[in-house]
């Protein structure tokens, strides 16, 4: 059976970026496990379940999965996960990833092994794309150097944080994803004029943000050779 591991933040994942791929891959018969940095239950970004922010339907769908899906309720610690056991590793985004997933050495190892392995795939969404700036390949080189990617753009970030880079919840954003990945050699294009943005470079798939979650998951289905019923 085709399998995937979801690496989800305990500091605030964006609901749609996790739930949409989770549901689409599940519908295609993919066996899914969930991991978090410490093994605690993922924490959803409150804004991503706010009907005024994302709409009533999306808010209710995300809350249902977050509260009732057994896989989300009982994740494994990242230190216990191995990319060799999965056909794909999925990194949903959310600002919270900047404080935990993107800085986690085990998350970086999973990403490297998924991309460098013979059969593995990695899908990285939105703010989780920041992990690419800090992940090295098995030769010690930056994994994303020269790769074509998309992710959460500076233009969007500037509409969220204040003049001191503080988010609505008061936390200071430590970095902008676009700045970090371009600084280490990524070929960045967030396709700001396009409704969706998904890039595939070898076994690495990146998606820009919530509105690209469905397209990214569909592309991952294609790469895995599975499809929804």
Instruction: Dump pLDDT digits (tens) for 203-222.
Output: 999 999 999 999 999 999 99
Residues 6+ apart with CB under 8 A from 44: 12, 13, 15, 62, 63, 66
Element (H, E) at 105: helix 105-116
Mind listing the pLDDT tens digit for each residue in 150-192? 999 999 999 999 999 999 999 999 999 999 999 999 999 999 9
Question: Could you tell me how many helices (H) and strands (E) the chain has, helices first?
Answer: 8, 9
Burial class (CB in 10 A: 0-12, 13-18, 19+), 223: middle
- With cut-offs at 50, 70 and 90, classify the pLDDT of residue 119: confident
The model's pLDDT over 61-97, given as tens digits with 9 standing for 90+, comes to: 999 999 999 999 999 999 999 999 999 999 999 999 9
Task: Specify the pLDDT at position 32.
Answer: 98
Of 177, 96, 184, the residue nearest 136 (C-alpha) = 184
Residue whose token pair is 């410490």: 38
Helix (H) or strand (E) holding 223: helix 213-224
Which pTM value belongs to this model?
A: 0.97
pLDDT of the residue at 10: 98
């Amino acid at each position: 059976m085709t399998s995937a591991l979801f690496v989800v933040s305990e500091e605030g994942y964006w609901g749609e970026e996790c739930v949409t791929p989770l549901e689409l891959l599940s519908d295609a018969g993919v066996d899914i496990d969930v991991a978090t940095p410490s093994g605690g239950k993922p924490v959803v970004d409150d804004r991503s379940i706010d009907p005024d922010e994302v709409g009533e339907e999306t808010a209710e769908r995300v809350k249902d999965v977050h509260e009732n899906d057994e896989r989300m309720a009982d994740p494994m610690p990242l230190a216990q996960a191995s990319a060799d056991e999965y056909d794909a590793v999925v990194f949903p985004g959310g600002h919270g990833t900047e404080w935990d997933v993107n800085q986690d050495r085990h998350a970086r190892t999973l990403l490297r092994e998924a991309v460098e392995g013979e059969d593995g795939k990695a899908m990285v969404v939105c703010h989780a794309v920041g992990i690419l700036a800090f992940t090295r390949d098995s030769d010690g080189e930056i994994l994303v150097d020269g790769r074509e990617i998309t992710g959460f753009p500076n233009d969007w970030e500037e509409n969220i944080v204040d003049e001191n880079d503080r988010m609505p919840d008061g936390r200071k954003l430590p970095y902008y994803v676009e700045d970090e990945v371009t600084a280490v050699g990524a070929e960045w294009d967030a396709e700001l004029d396009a409704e969706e943005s998904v890039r595939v470079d070898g076994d690495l798939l990146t998606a820009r943000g919530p509105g690209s979650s469905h397209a990214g998951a569909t592309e991952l289905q294609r790469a895995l050779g599975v499809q929804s019923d």
